[in-house]
Each structure stands twice: as C-alpha cells, then as structure tokens.
Structure 1
Amino acid sequence: MKIAFFDTKPYDREIFDELNEIYHYDITFFEERLNDKTVKLAEGFDVVSIFVQDQASAYVIDQLYNYGIQLIALRCAGYNNVDFKAAKDKIHVVHVPAYSPHAIAEFTISMILTLNRKIHKAYNRTRDLNFSLNGLLGFDMYGKTVGLIGTGKIAKVFIQILNGFGCKVLAYDLYPDKAYAKEMGYDYVSLDELFRQSDIVSLHCPLTKDTEYIINKDSIAKMKDSVMIVNTGRGKLINTVDLIDALKSKKISGAALDVYEEEDKYFYEDFSDKGVKDDVLSRLITFPNVLITSHQAYFTKEALGNIATTTMDSIQQLTDGKELVNEIGYVCDENGCVIKRLS
C-alpha cells in the first residue's frame, strides 16, 4: 500500500515514521498542500492523507480517482475541504472524529482565561519591568453564562470544565443530546435565546452550508453588549468583517480565535520576515482585545498520537477489506450533499 501524505511538517513525519514500524507501508511525505496544482504528485499511490488546509475539490477528486486512489484519509475531524458530491461512488473518505476532545476543550478555556485576564499582556509587561495593573481588569468566570453552538465530543468535555468554574451553560445543536444535558445540568435553547443570554459565545460546530457565517452582523446584533466570542472550530463560522465592526463599536468586548476564514494562506507557516498581505487579518491582529493563535488547539502529544493511530488504522481496514469505522457518511442529490450524523 503506497500512501502520499500531503501538507506535512517535521512533527507529522516523525510520529508517522515511528508508527509505520508496525504497519510497514510505503509512505511518501509531501510538504506541499493537496490542491488543483499539486494533485499530480498523487499519481502512483493508493491512498492520500490530507490535513485541514488541503483542498479535495471536484477536479482533485476526479484526478485522484483516475490515478486509482482508493481512500482519502483526513488527519483531522473537519471535512469541509472535501467535495463529497464528486467523491460519491468513487473514493472513500475517512477522518479522525475524536483525536483528543480534551486538547481542544482545554485550549478553549485557556484562550478565554488569557483574553479575559489579559495574561498575555501581563507577561509582556513584566518582561519590560512594567508591573502596573492598569488595563488588566477582567471578570469572574463564576456565574457567567456561556453559550455553546454545537455539542459534540469537544463541547461535552468543555461543558465539564465550565461546570467546574461554576458557569451556567446554554447550548444549541440540531441534534441535542438531552440525556447528557440532564446529566451535566445545561439547557438546550434556540439560537436567538443563546445569543440574547450568553456572556460568552463559543463555537464547536462543523462548517456546513447552514453554519457558514453563523456569526454575522445580524446574529451579533442579538447578543448582549460586551459579549466575548470564541472560535476553535472553523474560520468561516464567523464573518470577520462583521466581527471587526462589532469590535470597533465595542458590541463585542473581545474575540479569541484559533481559526480564521482565510487561514489556509498563512497558518502553519512563518511570515515574520515578509509580512502578510491580508488586510483583514492584519486589522484583527491590531486589536488589543483580540487573541489569535494559529489553529493549534489540537496540538498536543496525545492528539498527534491519536491522529496517527486512527489514520493508520483506517488504512489498515482498507487493506484488510474491513469496514471503514471512521468513514464519513453522506447522501447526495441534485442540491448537494448532506453529511449524516457523525459519532
């Protein structure tokens, strides 16, 4: 079985090489991201493995199919970068549904605490021997209402953490887990009610046609004044221009963003010596009440290990002709594709 890994970094190669001592596959690592221009690199392989910034467009899917690719193995939970209509009846698509919900949930709370208590600012100040507390005022998490859009595995771990802080949790999900809500003591509400009541709104839903720009000028207008927005999901859940307007008007008190809607041009790469040409991203970075990280919420030893193991197990299932446990189920018609509820 010959596998082409796209968009790999040294830490990817290290962990997959170590794990491959068990599987003994013929692996080639490419630094390039999979897209219309680089798909030619996949010729001669049986499987391609891709990450969040790779693009499996209709053209790419058709080319992969012509090359005899049997499987696209996503090294992530998200799947919005795959054209499922093109993949239907051609190529299997698997993902890693739960590499470490704890990693992302823990990172989410760390972003909220950092932004709220201005820990990043305090750190920089004291390094300059500035011990003033001016401008560092935060608020107690205890008693605050946190609204979660999406209640999958990550959000459920996050709810446990929020309960430890004594927060009131509201949630919105197309598929509410009422049994878990009863167990953990949170309430499912309408999206409008979540916006109206929440002091903090945190995004944990997949990016679909229904959730794209779920945070926009209209939804922001329904929120409390001085609300905090947190996004460790996908960049296009937020209309960034509308977010900037709300930050300027102080409708939003702060934003903690581990993702950005145009991140594929910049995230995971070093632009410190040449700058970025994205005026919107540049404007976001200038806000003192915006905390931006480079899609690193997943980035723990445990998560990388789980990603590698799950990915290789999926490929082994293909090799052995077994059921692909983590295959993404979907149905397509003339209007597009709908992803089935994922475990």
Structure 2
Amino acid sequence: MRWEVPVMNIKVFELRDDELKAFERVAASLPEGCEVSWSPACLTRETIDSLDGAEGIVIVNKSPLDAEMLELLHERGVRYIATRSIGYNHIDVASAKRLGIHVCNTTYPPYGVAEFAVMLMLMALRKYKPAMWRQQVNDYSLAGLQGRELRTLSVGVMGTGRIGRAVIEYLSGFGCKILAYDPYPNAEFAERHGVTYVDLDELYGASDLITVHVPLMDATRGIIGADAIAKMRDGVVLVNVSRGELMDTDALIEGVESEKIGALAMDVFAEEDGIYHVNRTHDILVNRNMAYLRQFPNVILTQHIAFYTDIDVDSMVEQGVRGVVDMAAGECATEL
C-alpha cells in the first residue's frame, strides 16, 4: 500500500531487534522519496543531533518529551511525533500543540492484552506462584494451594473500552457473573454478553475479582486506593494490566498485609520506568515498594509484557511510522 503524502524524512528511535522485520516492511511501502531511518538509542538531549534533519520522529516511552525538549525539537524542524504506544504521558502534548507539532499515539488489537489479563486471573486464583516456588525445592504438598474456580465468581470489569470489552468476551466463556463500570456504558454490548453495568461502589462491593482497564488521567490516578479497597469484599482479587499509577501502592501493601486483598496480579507498576524492559541483573533497584510487594506469595508481578505479542509489536511499528505519514497528509485517526 502506498500513501499520497508529502515527501519527508522520518527517524525511528528506540527500535528493538524484534521490531526490525516490521520496520523494514513498512519502510519499503513508503512513497518514493520519503526517507525513513532508525536507531536503537533513545531520543535525549545528548542524542538530539542524530535527528539528521527529520521532520517526523517515532519514539516509545523511554524518550520523554517535556516542554524544553519539544522546543529543541521544534528548532530542529520536527513537526510530527508518533509514539509506538497507547499511553502518551511521556509527551507534553499541550506544549507540542502550542509549538504546532502534531502528535499521535498508536493502537493495536486488544486481544493480546485481554488474554494476558485472563491469564493473570487464573494464575492468581490457582495460586501459581507458591506452587512454582515449591517445585524448585521438590515440595509437592497440597496444603495452602487450594484454588477457586472462575466460573463461580463475580468479576468486575472497570472500563469497557476495546480491551475491557475483549476481556468480557473471553470471560463470557467461563460462565462467571460479569459486572462492569464505565462512564459511557455500552448497552448493546452489555445485552449481547450478559453484562450488568453498575456504579463503582456497587462493583467494588459485589465483585470477587476486579480487573482494571481504564486510561490513566488525573481523574483515575490512584483510583484503586484505600477508600476503594475498603469497599471491596474480603479476599478480593485485583488484576491490573493498564497503568501502575491507577493503583495506590501503599494502599495495596496495606490491603495485602491485612489480607483484605486475597491476591494481586499486576503487569504494570508505578515508577517502573528504567526498570521494566531493561536488563538490571547486576544493579541495585531503587523501588522499595516493588521489591516489597514482589515477595508476597499471593502477589504476581510481570514486567509490562501484556502487549508483547507478534501481532501487537507489528501493529505498533506500522502505526508509528504510518502515523507520521498520515498526520502529514492530514488524515491520522489517532492524532491527539
């Protein structure tokens, strides 16, 4: 597929080895004269000279763009920025707009993340972590490993966007009762999948398991805090594959210690930048809450990999490069 767009120079930063195949495919489909190059490095003040005259750039979250950095990019002629991620908190979008820089994020099919969320539910309910630990020392006893069956539970889904709806579609096959909260309920979807929309307080009080699929914004930051947890059922299971900052970590620790929270499974963590997606084998990690939560037998922490499937990686690379091209052509569906 070839697009009718202005000829331009695009630079892709933070490109990983697993993204190269998709990058090469997309690069080959660009209009004649449209140049695209890549670098494994992050875009920082130290590497900004490597822009090589690019008008459009594609980054991920290890290249934070604050107001000052955006000013520097603007001075060097950058007019289009795409992030290969759904989240875009690492970009000062307001400052970009003020400078006349167009910004877009990317999307990908919701099913990989939705499958991962359901996997975490099952791992938490069947006490995967202590069972695996015991095998390492040849302890095959049963005591303490009795699980629960998902089909017998009430599951609360916070947020029924693309990923939340995909989770519900998968959960429908387990036979569990499904409650949902969203500021904009989808009545047709709810009827089709047997979902009951309720307010947050009712969802907290009536759910055995709660899975979080809301975007991170000022109104949702810390939405799962002490007050919310106090309204939940004793022994509630919490799952988060969205953003770590949606949960108050201190409140989570208190909930686990008091056994109000029966199990916790998170693919994301507050202040994970600089830790997740990096080999820190020989480093001292400065995130005490992460280290403390990880040691509980009923807490599962994975390293922000729910998105990491062949389909999703391919989609993010394509949409990242194509997002720059589409913004230049004035037809980008994900422009912020």
TM-score (norm 2): 0.90
1:30 pairs with 3, 25, 40, which one?
40
Distance of 1:195 and 1:39 partners within structure 2: 47
Distance 1:42 1:251, change over 3 A: farther
Offset at 1:35? 5.2
Letter aligned with residue 282 of structure 1? A
CA distance in structure 1 between the aligned counterparts of 2:109 and 2:46, rounded to whole angstroms: 32
- String of CA shifts for 1:48-67, please: whole Å, max 9, x gaps: 21223432222222222222
Preserved contact between residue 245 and residue 269 of structure 2 (Cα < 8 Å): yes
8 A Cα contact 1:36 1:57, kept in partner: no
Distance 2:220 2:308 in 1: 25
Between the two proteins, the alignment pairs up a number of residues equal to 325
Per chain length, whose mean CA-contact separation is higher, i.e. which structure has more relative contact order (CA < 8 Å, sep 6+)? 2
Deviation (angstroms), 1:38: 5.2
Q: Deviations over 1:212-249 (max 9, x none)?
A: 00011111111111111111001100111111111111
Contact 1:36 1:59 in 2 (8 A): no
Distance 1:254 1:165 in 2: 20
> Is residue 2:32 matched to residue 1:12?
no
Q: Aligned runs of 1:282-321 on 2, under 5 Å?
A: 282-319=291-328, 321=329
**Between 131-140 and 152-161, the greater mean CA deviation after superposition:** 131-140
Stretch of structure 1 that moved more, 34-43 or 165-174: 34-43
CA displacement 1:17-59 (0-9 Å, x = unmatched): 3432332632121332x45665555462211212234322222
Alignment pair present for 1:243 and 2:252: yes
Q: Give runs of aligned pairs for residues 225-304 of structure 1, distance below 5 A.
A: 225-304=234-313
Paired residue type of 1:3:
I
Structure 1 247/193 Cα, relative in aligned 2: closer, same or farther at 3 Å?
same
Kept in 1: contact 2:58–2:321 (CA 8 A): no
How far apart are 1:120 and its partner, in Å? Answer: 3.8
Deviation per residue, 1:90-143 (Å, 9 max, x gap): 11111123x120000000011111122123433443354332222211101013
Could you tell me how far apart the structure 2 residues matched to 1:54 and 1:147 are? 35
Q: Distance in 1 between matches of 2:199 and 2:21?
A: 45
2:333 pairs with 1:325: yes
Q: Deviations over 1:284-308 (max 9, x none)?
A: 1111111011110011111111112
* Greater Cα shift, 286-295 or 75-84: 75-84
The separation in 2 between residues aligned to 1:42 and 1:177, in whole angstroms, is 44
SS at the partner of 2:334?
coil
| Unaligned residue ranges in structure 1 (runs of 5+) | 329-343
Counterpart of 1:332 in structure 2 is none
Q: CA deviation at 1:83?
A: 1.7
The percentage of counterpart residues that share the same residue type is: 33
Distance 1:187 1:39, change over 3 A: farther
| Cα distance per residue 1:302-330 (max 9 Å; x no partner) | 111111222232233245x24112212xx
User: Is the CA contact (8 Å cut-off) linking 1:57 and 1:81 kept in structure 2?
Assistant: yes
Q: For 1:66-77, what aligned pairs fall within 5 Å after superposition?
A: 66-77=75-86
Structure 2 residues not aligned, in runs of 5+ = 1-7
> 1:1-343 residue pairs with structure 2 within 5 A?
1-23=8-30, 25-32=35-42, 34=43, 39=48, 41-42=50-51, 44-89=53-98, 90-97=100-107, 99-319=108-328, 321-328=329-336
SS of equivalent residue, structure 1 residue 205: coil
Secondary structure of 2:256's partner?
helix
Measure, in 1, the Cα distance between the counterparts of 2:152 and 2:90.
Answer: 38
| Distance verdict in 2 for CA 1:238–1:2, change over 3 Å | same
State the 1:147 CA deviation: 1.1
Secondary structure of 2:291 counterpart: helix
Alpha-carbon contact 2:210-2:237 (below 8 Å) kept: yes
